[in-house]
Structure 1
Amino acid sequence: MSSLLKIRAERDQMSAIERRIADFLLDNAHLLRDYSSQQLADALGISQSSVVKFSQKLGFKGYPDLKYSIGQAVARSGGGDEGVAAVATVDDPRALLAEHLWQLKAQAEAETQLINPGERIDAIAALLQQAGKVYVIGLGEDGIPARAFATRLSMLGIVTVHYVDAVLMQAGVSSAGPGDVLMVFSEHGRQPALCQISRVFRERVGKVVTVTRHTPNPLRAYADASLLVSAHDERRHVEPLLYQSALQHLLDLIFLLLCDTSEGRRRQLDLNLERMQDLLDT
């Protein structure tokens, strides 16, 4: 697993000093061979021990091991850049833009996969598979993936209750009971209304699954299970594209698990697709 990938994936959970180190390593990975731990500390105005602790927190014995791993990652990525040039030359700016965007999305999806262990994904899929009812909510832009996923669940024959309004969802969850699941989509996890709904839902012995960025946020405190998304870019118009792509990949994986673990669900999906096609053909 790439050390640079691990740093990106874990950045949101780091302290302020750790983020400074992480950002420096990500921005200057190709120059890192010229830096000792003391030189890196001097460049950032921090103690050498902070650099060593940062390396150990990532699972390395020390800074030399981390530096070597980053050097290996940079060497491996060198071939990828040549491949891009072969596919898209400077004479084809649209192809260059498309290739770069694809790489950024692939990176975000890899980071997201890293912070969502397989056993967690399996557990969430099992919760949805066994749920009596699945309540789904997302406000604003979070409502788009929430609605799409709720539709997919209903196509599989899972009883799904979807709201785009927090007040209506507050009333809706009054009928929730043991075995029901609430999925809350909130990129930053800061809406007080969604925290309140999640708290009430857990009090009714339902299970709460939150879908947020990989950041400390109030909503995750009410979660029985969390789906986490890692997607970063300094450009404000690009970062949401990466978040949506990584989130969609994560939700697609859960959908496939639901299909693959139940032949009955697949038959229900086929039946619903046929019925929809019949309506479209009439």
Structure 2
Amino acid sequence: MIRELIDSIKLTKKEQVISGYLEQEPDCVLQYNAKELAALIKVSAPTLIRFVQKLGFKGYSDFQVTYTQEKTMYDQMKNIRIDSKSSIRDVIETLPAIYDHVFKETRKLTRFESFVRTINYMLQAKQIDFYANDNNYSEVQSACLKLNTIGIKAQCFNTLNTAYIDNIDPRDILAFVVSHSGKNQTMVDAAYELRKKRIRVIAITGKIDPTLELVCNEALYIDSSSHHLPHHIMLYGLSIHYILDILVTSLYYKKYKE
């Protein structure tokens, strides 16, 4: 995720130097504090701090913790790969480890308070609407089926239906808008229009681009990193599935208790 954050922002010349050094010496963050690392890179400590804050971290310590976790996970996974030389047996044996990796990465992104609030919103809503397209649409279709099965009204759209939102009470609706990249313009526009109608909107999105998240009332994060193998589309689908199943399972048992 850190590499993708770096690739997603415009860097100054000094920040490019920092990025290049991290790429050449990937263990440096594990070994040095901010002042020591800045001296090695030949930049000032405040420049290094501004760089990590630009990536969305509170400070160097926060960056160091996340970097260490990602580096450890990368080292564990670097030999677990599926490629053109892999046999069917290799695929059978390797996929569970890759799936487990995706779930762990997603788990690290979860914020308990966000799930508590979202589940309470879902219990209060008379209707839950999902907005997604392409590969994400099948995931929300599955979630709708599960929710309707446990007595919660849910439906999904692949684009905004203006006639529909013009004729509903916004207090009755909770909307989820899904975009793994966070910058799918159709989904961003849908979230914006829903918010204009005073409908509460929850984003299910990656952390790389904040565009969708900034429009919504709440965000649940998925692992949208593209470094996973095999195809990352299948794997961020797993991440979305995991998030949706957390919601559905929690709702089932809350309703069961009632």
Q: Give the alignment's TM-score, normalised by structure 1.
A: 0.65
Structure 2 gap ranges (5+): 81-85
1:172 equivalenced with 2:182 (yes/no): no
Q: CA RMSD in A?
A: 4.3
1:248 equivalenced with 2:245 (yes/no): no
Aligned to 2:83: none
TM-superposed deviation, 1:100: 4.7
CA distance in 2, matches of 1:97, 1:24: 35
Q: Deviations over 1:114-152 (max 9, x none)?
A: 232101011111111211111122122221112111111
Aligned to 2:224: 231
Identity %: 15
1:182-193 equivalences in 2 (<5 Å) = 182-193=175-186
Residues 158 and 26 of structure 1: is their aligned pair in 2 closer, same or farther, counting only changes over 3 Å? Answer: farther
Residues 242 and 75 of structure 1: is their aligned pair in 2 closer, same or farther, counting only changes over 3 Å? Answer: closer
Q: Tell me which amino acid in the other structure corresponds to 1:138.
A: A
Residues 58 and 212 of structure 1: is their aligned pair in 2 closer, same or farther, counting only changes over 3 Å? Answer: same
Residues 115 and 10 of structure 1: is their aligned pair in 2 closer, same or farther, counting only changes over 3 Å? Answer: farther
1:194 equivalenced with 2:187 (yes/no): yes
Greater Cα offset, 245-254 or 21-30: 21-30
CA distance in 2, matches of 1:170, 1:201: 9
Q: Deviations over 1:180-219 (max 9, x none)?
A: 1111122224344433433332233321112222133433
* Structure exhibiting the larger radius of gyration computed from Cα positions: 1
Q: Deviations over 1:53-86 (max 9, x none)?
A: 56784655599xx49x9779978998x68xx99x
1:37 equivalenced with 2:44 (yes/no): no
Residues 200 and 181 of structure 1: is their aligned pair in 2 closer, same or farther, counting only changes over 3 Å? Answer: same
Assess if the C-alpha contact under 8 Å between 1:125 and 1:258 holds in 2.
yes
1:99-110 equivalences in 2 (<5 Å) = 100-110=94-104
Assess if the C-alpha contact under 8 Å between 1:9 and 1:114 holds in 2.
no
Structure having the higher helix fraction is 1
- Secondary structure in structure 2 of the residue aligned to 1:250: helix
- Secondary structure in structure 2 of the residue aligned to 1:261: helix
1:15-54 equivalences in 2 (<5 Å) = 16=11, 25=22, 29=26, 37-38=37-38, 41=41, 49-51=46-48
Q: Tell me which amino acid in the other structure corresponds to 2:222.
A: V
Instruction: Pick from 192, 197, 210 the counterpart of residue 203 of structure 2.
Output: 210
1:100-179 equivalences in 2 (<5 Å) = 100-166=94-160, 169-177=161-169, 178-179=171-172
- Secondary structure in structure 2 of the residue aligned to 1:211: strand
Instruction: Pick from 245, 253, 258 the counterpart of residue 260 of structure 1.
Output: 253
Structure 1 gap ranges (5+): 86-91, 266-282
